Amino acid sequence: MQLNKEQVLQALSNVEEPDLKKDLVTLNMIQDIHIEGNRLSFSVILTTPACPLKGLIENACRNAISHFISPAVEVSINMTSRVTTQKNTGVPGVKNIIAVASGKGGVGKSTVAANLALGLAATGAKVGLIDADIYGPSVPIMFGLEGAKPQASQVNGKTRIEPIEKYGIKLLSIGFFTDPNQPVPWRGPMVSSAVKQLFNDADWGELDYLVVDLPPGTGDIHITVTQSFPITGAVIVTTPQNVALADAKKGIGMLMMDAINVPILGIIENMSYFTPAELPENKYYIFGEGGGVKLANMINAPFLGEIPMVKSISESGDAGKPVVLTEDGILSKAFLHLAERVAQQISVYNAKATDLQDVINR
Amino acid sequence: MQLNKEQVLQALSNVEEPDLKKDLVTLNMIQDIHIEGNRLSFSVILTTPACPLKGLIENACRNAISHFISPAVEVSINMTSRVTTQKNTGVPGVKNIIAVASGKGGVGKSTVAANLALGLAATGAKVGLIDADIYGPSVPIMFGLEGAKPQASQVNGKTRIEPIEKYGIKLLSIGFFTDPNQPVPWRGPMVSSAVKQLFNDADWGELDYLVVDLPPGTGDIHITVTQSFPITGAVIVTTPQNVALADAKKGIGMLMMDAINVPILGIIENMSYFTPAELPENKYYIFGEGGGVKLANMINAPFLGEIPMVKSISESGDAGKPVVLTEDGILSKAFLHLAERVAQQISVYNAKATDLQDVINR
Ligand SMILES: Nc1ncnc2c1ncn2[C@@H]1O[C@H](COP(=O)(O)OP(=O)(O)O)[C@@H](O)[C@H]1O
Ligand SMILES: Nc1ncnc2c1ncn2[C@@H]1O[C@H](COP(=O)(O)OP(=O)(O)O)[C@@H](O)[C@H]1O
Ligand SMILES: [Mg+2]
Ligand SMILES: [Mg+2]
């Protein structure tokens, strides 16, 4: 039997990408086919390094070769990825912008943004994080970077700010440029131009995902960011109370306005309940129950999960090392899972929004 | 023995107002002296109806008459109050403006503002509450006033907005004028003018205290309010985390700026700990411990107390009836006590800031 490329593509065209609902060949995800006798190797180029379906797809490929060609073929598969993009994000080199938003303050936006960014990076993606909360920047404290000052360099005669690298991601916070002991009594136009610089004047290089931690509300920063930098999708954080849900709904309402039109990747409910170590069976729903799911159903968006109130989350944030990096198994797994879900959602949106063939070839 | 006014004033000049550190006669707090035989009656005009020292002062007056004149005098004292004022608040008829601020969102500003306002009213004061959080107004939900629309009336040819009355206080929220299901994507100047109208175009009547629930941050609303309406003092709400304290410090920094110069009445730590019903001895410091006291010491302001995380606080807020009005003894007592402390602080500040004689006679 003489193996050939045609046969291989024919066989693999029976494997469907479960999220994107098309076969791997049509999706142009099969590349680098090499044949040597009955040894076959090829690459499967997933649209997210975090793809939770990686194992499933690899198995399906092996089965297809075995079934449609022969069990005798020795198959070696290189599972790799190239994050897709769909629209010009307005920041050269940045494929996707993910906004973390809420409407209400103090619900855990910064906590989710930081752990999401680190979770995406843990899967192998190139990740940046912008902390755009001018009046309450959290990145300096959460990443142990109080007092850090980004370098400015000259690139082609223009000043470029160098994001600070920590824990494998690139960071910029409006807090790096203001005195932590001084208030920032700035009105809207000043705030807007400061935030724009974090996107435009920084040397982000190539990024798969740029996570943006937005302030509460639907004000100047939101208007400026959504108008200047087309956002791939938004993750909405809420706590379970009515007053938080009301604000979250408004935040979502703004993102869904025709002129802005940011897809909602999903809802995360934070501070859902508390479980004392002494009563591991008990869940105390201090802020009420089920608000996140209710909101997700209302706007027909995926519910991405709930995060309990856990001391190590606030402690790790205060100590400069977000919880996803610490050894606490359950929480870091939860945030990694969240990162996978978000990456998956983005890959689906990108596939829907553009001719995928075209996108993967970019 | 023939009693006379002179004698009475002479005797009462030995009684000191413990907070204001001057005697009642100098403070002009003794009025309406009536003498009939050995029957004496007079009024003590306190500077706050909430005065926690009421009983103490009344006793001291009785003792002074008994000691310096004669135990035989039959004394009848009318303890009353007239809330003082010190500066033109910019809102006619409003004696004092109390800002509730934090820097960070979600720490419980609105919860404190609502319960403080109701607590002040419970002591007999005339109270108003402005919810100036344009992107996340809480008063409509917290007071069960969703969908309420304030009446507009014509006074001297100018349009006047009628605050809504509920639970004995006057309320205006920016949320009464916006659609709760629609976002408010407004930039700074629009926000500022909307908030100004809540102060200027509303028919507040005579108020002892106008409590203002400020949004998080130090932005347009803060600049506008502090510049246009001299604030008597601010209550700062924080949660125990470093990230919250950092923002609170900035909020305070802004209020203390020379151009703004708002006295800090004190710090309240909210969400200090959680105690499960099954383990009434345990306090779980989910967000860390002691941050509020630390902050109070740092800025040399009074620490006004800590509020634990209790389901009934968030439930009552969501249900339209703030917890101070409900039957839960401990929490409502705590908020009433807070109201007393705040009123006391204001009376002290007013006394320090102006010639008190002059103030009381106003
Ligand atoms: N699930 C949680 N358990 C315990 N603490 C949390 C949790 N989520 C957030 N926190 C803490 O609550 C505070 C507010 O969270 P943050 O992410 O800063 O909110 P936001 O950015 O929405 O204002 C922070 O101190 C954070 O560490
Ligand atoms: N001590 C507390 N215990 C339980 N829930 C609380 C407590 N303080 C505030 N909450 C709830 O937390 C949420 C945020 O409080 P809120 O007063 O709206 O904060 P802010 O005005 O600072 O954004 C509300 O749902 C409120 O009911
Ligand atoms: Mg934040
Ligand atoms: Mg509020």
A106 and B244 in contact by Cβ < 8 A?
Answer: yes
What tokens appear for B21 in the block?
Answer: 């550190």
A137 in a structural domain: yes
The annotation status of B329 as a binding-site residue, yes or no, is: no
Q: Quick check: A176 contacting B, CB < 8 Å? A: no
Quick one: pLDDT at residue A355?
Answer: 53
CB contact under 8 A, A135 and B103: yes
Q: Tell me: do B15 and B102 sit in the same domain.
A: no
| 8 A C-beta contact, residue B243 and residue A110 | yes
DSSP A171: E
Confirm whether B18 is domain-assigned.
yes
Q: Check CB contact of B135 with chain A, cutoff 8 Å.
A: yes
Query: Residue A168 pLDDT > 60, yes or no?
Result: yes
B112-144: b (≥16 Cβ within 10 Å) or e: bbbbbbbbbbbbebbbbbbbbbbbbbbbbbbbe
CB of B105 closer than 6 A to ligand 1? yes
Considering the domain architecture, whether residues A139 and A260 belong to the same structural domain is answered as yes
Whether the Cβ atoms of residue B29 and residue B79 lie closer than 8 Å to each other: no
Cα within 13 Å of Cα(B289), Cβ side: 4
Determine if residue A175 is labeled as part of a ligand binding site.
no
Number of neighbouring beta carbons within 10 Å of residue B78: 12
pLDDT over 70 (residue A354): no
Summarize pLDDT for A228-278 with one digit per residue, the tens: 999 999 999 999 988 888 888 888 988 988 888 899 999 999 999 999 999
Distance B100 CA to ligand 3 centre (A): 20
Ligand 2 touching residue B270 (CB < 6 A) = yes
pLDDT more than 70, % of chain A: 97
The CATH number linked to A26 is 3.30.300.130
Is residue A89 pLDDT above 90, yes or no? no
Looking at per-residue confidence, does B344 or B157 come out higher? B344
Per DSSP, chain B holds a count of helices (H) and strands (E) of: 11, 15
Q: Which atom of ligand 1 is nearest to the CA of B244?
A: 25
Q: Crossing angle of helices B5-12/B54-68, nearest 10°?
A: 120
B102 is in an annotated binding site: no
ipTM of the complex: 0.84
Confidence of residue B77 (pLDDT cuts 50, 70, 90): very high
Rounded to whole angstroms, the Cα distance separating A348 from A181 reads 43
Distance CA(B30)–CA(B43), nearest Å, equals 6
B109 and B39 within one domain: no
A191/B218 Cβ within 8 A: no
What CATH number does the domain containing B150 carry? Answer: 3.40.50.300
Q: CB within 8 A of B33, min separation 6: which ones?
A: B5, B8, B9, B40, B41, B42
Of B52, B81, B110, the position where a domain reaches its end is B81
Residue B193 belongs to some domain of the structure: yes
The string of pLDDT tens digits covering residues A107-140 is 999 999 999 999 999 989 999 999 999 888 999 9
Residue corresponding to tokens 């309010």 = B225
B24 and B172 in a single domain? The answer is no
Q: Is A216 found in the same domain as A333?
A: yes
For residue range B135-157, what is the model confidence (pLDDT) as tens digits?
889 999 999 999 999 998 887 88
Tell me how crowded residue B352 is: count the other CB atoms within 10 A of its CB.
12
Residues of chain B with C-beta less than 8 angstroms from the C-beta of A315: 288
pLDDT at A357 over 80: no
Of B25, B49, B81, the residue at which a domain comes to its end is B81
Residue B267 forms part of a structural domain? yes
Residues B273 and B199 in one domain: yes
The pLDDT score that the predictor gives to residue A328 is: 65
Q: How many domains does chain B have?
A: 2
- Residue B292 in contact with partner chain A when CB distance is under 8 A: no
**Closest listed residue to residue B190, CA positions, set B229, B224, B140, B158:** B224
Minimal Cα–Cα distance from A142 to chain B, Å? 8
What is the rounded distance in angstroms from the CA atom of residue A113 to the CA atom of residue A133? 12
CA-nearest of A213, A211, A207 to A125 is A207
Query: Domain for residue B99, yes or no?
Result: yes
> Given B20, B49, B81, which residue is the final one in a domain?
B81
Domain shared by A250 and A296, yes or no: yes
Range of the domain at B109: 94-361
Q: Does residue A65 sit in the same domain as residue A137? A: no
Residue A361, pLDDT above cutoff 50: no
Co-location of B73 and B107 in the same domain = no
Query: Taking the CB of residue A168, how many other CB atoms lie within 10 A of it?
Result: 14
Closest CA to A331 of A175, A118, A151: A118
Work out whether strand A39-46 and strand A30-36 pair parallel, antiparallel, or are unpaired.
antiparallel
A311 close to B (CB below 8 A): yes
Average pLDDT, chain A: 90
Interface check for A142 against chain B (CB to CB < 8 A): the answer is: yes
In a domain, B89, yes or no: no
Q: Is B187 found in the same domain as B66?
A: no
Q: In this structure, are B99 and B35 located in the same domain?
A: no
> For residues B81 and B208, what is the distance between their CA atoms, to the nearest angstrom?
11
Instruction: Classify residue B87: in a domain, yes or no.
Output: no
pLDDT in tens, B198-255: 999 999 999 999 999 999 888 888 889 999 999 999 999 999 988 888 888 888 988 9
Dist CA A76 CA A42 (whole Å):
7
Whether residues A312 and A184 share a domain: the answer is: yes
Please list every residue in chain A whose beta carbon sits closer than 8 Å to the beta carbon of residue B241.
Answer: 314, 317-318
Distance CA B232, CA B261 (A): 10
Confidence of residue B328 (pLDDT cuts 50, 70, 90): low
Instruction: Find the residue in B nearest to A318 (Cα).
Output: B242
The verdict on the CB of residue A336 being under 6 Å from ligand 1 is: no
Residue B303, chain A, CB below 8 Å: the answer is: no
Q: Nearest by CB to A216, which of B105, B279, B282?
A: B105
pLDDT digits (tens, 9 = 90+) for B263-318: 999 999 999 999 999 999 999 999 999 999 999 999 999 999 999 999 999 999 99
Residue B247 with chain A: CB contacts under 8 Å: 135-136
What span, in angstroms and rounded, lies between the C-alpha atoms of B343 and B49?
8
Residue A228 is assigned to a structural domain of this protein: yes
Task: List the one residue out of A172, A171, A223 whose CA is nearest residue A197.
Answer: A172
